[in-house]
Amino acid sequence: MIKFKPAILSSFKNYNKEQFNKDIQSGIILSIIALPLSIALAVSSGLDAVQGIYTSIFLGFILALFSGSPVQIGGPTGTFLVLTLVVMNLYGFSGLFYVTIIAGIILILMGLLRLGNVIKFIPYPVMAGFKIGIGIVIFSTQVSDFLGLKEKAPSGFIDKWIYYFSNLNHVNWSSIIIGTITIIIIILWNKKFKKIPGTFIALILTTLAVVYFKIDIATLGSIQPGFKSPFSYIDFNNFTYHSEYLNLGFTLAILCAMEALLSAVVADGMTNSKHDSNMELISEGLANIGAVVFGGLPGVGAIARTATNVKNGGRTPIAAITHCLILTIILLFFTSLLQYIPLATLAGILFIVSYNMSDVRGFIDLFKAPKSDIFILITTTILTLVVDLAFAVEVSIVLACILFMKRMSDETDIDGIEYAADDVDGVKFKETLPEYSPEILIYRINGPFFFGTSEKLMDVINHIDLKHKVLIIRMRHVPVMDVTGMYSLRNIFKKCEKNNIKLILSGVKTQPLKVMKKYNFIDDIGKEYVCKDIYEAIYKANRHVGFENNINLIEKKII
C-alpha cells in the first residue's frame, strides 16, 4: 500500500529546548524576509498588498503541516509573477482563482500518481531559460514604479520598453532616488550582515525618509487590517470558464513542482536528509488551493527562504509556523504603517529579486555547454519574453526531448563486425572472434535501441546480401529497448524468414529480453537462437550452415 507521510510527523524525534529556540529565531527572521517580498510581489501582480501577506500565511502554514520536507518555507515567489500578472490582466482575480485551483488539483494528482521523480528530469537549460526570462520580465514590470511614471505601462514586453523610453521626460526623480537608495542599502547591508535581510532594512529606512521629509512619491496607500472570509474575492455569480484556464493551470503546476522539488533537494543537501517528493507535490497543491481560497496568490516552497531557514538553525515546521504567526500579528495590528511604503522601494526590492533569479553567472557558464543546450536556453528565454511563459515552457520541453532523442540516436551505432572493441576492468583490447562461415553475417548494436534509432538498423538490414544464410545481431551493449525497437526486430525476423535466413540474437540484456518475452518474440525466433554470448551464437550459426571448421566455441569465452 502506498503511504504518504508528511514530514511533520517525524520531525520531533529527540526534539529539545535548544532546537525549539533555534526554530523560533529562524521563524522571526523568515517573517522579516517574507513581509517586503510578499507585499512587492502582490502589488506587482496587480493584487492588493494584503493578498501577498495572506499567501505567506496560509500557504506557508499548510506547507508546514503537509510538506515532504521539514524545513520547507512557502510563499509567493518571482517565478509565478509573470504568469499571475498575465492571468490578472486577462481574467482578473476570478481567473487567477480557477487557474490556481486547477494547478493545485494537478499537483495533488501528480503526487498521488508518484510523479515526484519524473519532474526532476526536466532539462536544466529549460529551467534556466525561463528563470532568466522571468527575471527580465520582472525587471521590466518594475521600471514604471522605479521611474515614478503615473500611467500604467502596456502589458507587452516590447511595448513596455517603447513606453518607458517615450516617457523619460515625465520621470519622478524622487522615485528614482528612493529606488536607487533601496538597491544600494540591500547590496551593502547583505555584504556585512547575514541575520536580518537588507530588504527589510531598506523598506524601513526609505519609508521613514519619505514620511519624515514628506517626499511626493507614490506609496501603497491604505490597507485593510485582518482577514477576509473565504471566497470573498470571488464572484461566483458571474463565473465564466475560459479554455485557457486548463493550459495556464498546467503550466503553473509544472513551475510549482520544479521549484518546490528543487528547493527540497537544496534543503536535503544542507541538512543531510531526504525529502518525500510525492508528499511535497501533494502539499504544494493543498497549499495553493488553501491560499487562493482566502484571497492569496500562487506560491511555492521557495529556495531562498528555505535555505535561509536552514542557515539560521531551523530544522522543524515550527520555524514555518512561527513565521506565519508573526505575519498574522503584523496583519492584525500594524497594517496602518504599511500604507507609507513607497512603490519605488518595492521596485528596488524586485530589481534585486530579478537579478538573483536570472543567475547571470550561471547564464554565462551555460554558453560552454553543447550547442543544443544553448539553443534550448535561448529559445526558452526569448519565448518567455515575447510570447508567454506557458508557451515557452511547453515548446522548450518538447524541443529538449527531441534534441535528447537525437543525441541518444547519434550515440547508438549499428555496424557489421569482424571483431568487437570491449572494455573489461578498464583495459581496452581487441576481441578476436572465432572463424565463421562467409554465409554468416554479424551486426552489432551499441546503445539504446528505441524509436529514435530503430530506423538505423532497418536501413542497414535492407542492404543485406541474400546470399547469407544466417544473420547474428549482437545486443550485449543494448541497455534498453522500446516497442518500436521490438517491431523493428520483428520486421527483420519476417524478412529473414521470407528469404530463408536464420536470425540469431546474442548477449540480450534483461530489459530488452523482458520486452521480447511480452511480445512472444522469443517463441517466434526460438529460445535456442537467443544466445548468451557471441561464441554460442557463432557455434550455432556455423552448425546451421554446416561449416566444416566449426569447433566447440562455447568453451572459448572472455573471462
Task: State the DSSP string of 324-338.
Answer: HHHHHHHHHH-HHHH
Same domain, 437 and 288: no
Contacts of 480 (CB under 8 A, 6+ apart): 448, 449, 450, 511, 512
At residue 73, the 3 state secondary structure works out as: coil
Question: Diameter of the chain by CA atoms?
Answer: 106
In a domain, 368, yes or no: no
Same domain, 418 and 335: no
Same domain, 319 and 422: no
Same domain, 339 and 488: no
Q: 22-55: b or e for each residue (b if 16 or more CB lie within 10 Å)?
A: bbbbbbbbbbbbbbbbbbbbbbbbbbbbbbbbbb
How high is the pLDDT of residue 397? 76
pTM > 0.95 = no
CATH number at 437 reads 3.30.750.24
Same domain, 349 and 425: no
Answer with the one of 358, 386, 403 that is the final residue of a domain.
Answer: 358
Rounded Cα–Cα distance for residues 56 and 350 (Å) = 17
Answer with the one of 342, 358, 374 that is the final residue of a domain.
Answer: 358
Same domain, 354 and 440: no
Rounded Cα–Cα distance for residues 342 and 346 (Å) = 7
Low-confidence residues of the chain: pLDDT under 50: 1, 418-430, 551-559
Single out the residue of 549, 557, 494, 497 nearest to residue 531, CA to CA.
Answer: 557
All three cell numbers of 484, joined, read 518500436
In a domain, 70, yes or no: yes
Rounded Cα–Cα distance for residues 344 and 178 (Å) = 6
Same domain, 349 and 451: no
Hunting for cell 551593502 — which residue is that?
188
Q: Which helix (H) or strand (E) holds 442?
A: strand 440-446
**DSSP assigned state of 450:** S
Distance of CA 204 to the CA centre of its chain: 35
At residue 489, the 3 state secondary structure works out as: helix
All three cell numbers of 48, joined, read 492588493
How high is the pLDDT of residue 549? 61
How many angstroms separate the Cα of 117 from the Cα of each of 65, 258, 265? Answer: 22, 10, 11
Rounded Cα–Cα distance for residues 178 and 181 (Å) = 5
Answer with the one of 358, 378, 398 that is the final residue of a domain.
Answer: 358
Same domain, 217 and 336: yes
**DSSP assigned state of 317:** T
**DSSP assigned state of 154:** P
Residue 107, CB half-sphere, CA atoms under 13 Å: how many?
34
476 phi and psi angles, rounded to 5 deg: -70, -15
Residue 416 pairs in a beta bridge with 443
Same domain, 352 and 436: no
Rounded Cα–Cα distance for residues 421 and 271 (Å) = 45
How high is the pLDDT of residue 1? 44
Mark residue 546 as left, alpha or beta (left: phi above 0; alpha: psi -120 to 50; beta: remaining): left
CB 280 within 8 Å of CB 300: no
Same domain, 278 and 354: yes
Rounded Cα–Cα distance for residues 46 and 548 (Å) = 86
Domain count, the chain: 2
314 phi and psi angles, rounded to 5 deg: -70, 130
In a domain, 336, yes or no: yes
In a domain, 7, yes or no: no
Range of the domain at 78: 17-358
In a domain, 364, yes or no: no
How high is the pLDDT of residue 421? 42
In a domain, 395, yes or no: no
Single out the residue of 318, 296, 314, 293 nearest to residue 305, CA to CA.
Answer: 314
In a domain, 408, yes or no: no
In a domain, 131, yes or no: yes
Same domain, 49 and 139: yes
CB 516 within 8 Å of CB 488: no
Rounded Cα–Cα distance for residues 382 and 389 (Å) = 10
All three cell numbers of 519, joined, read 511480445
Rounded Cα–Cα distance for residues 72 and 320 (Å) = 8
Same domain, 460 and 330: no
**DSSP assigned state of 342:** B
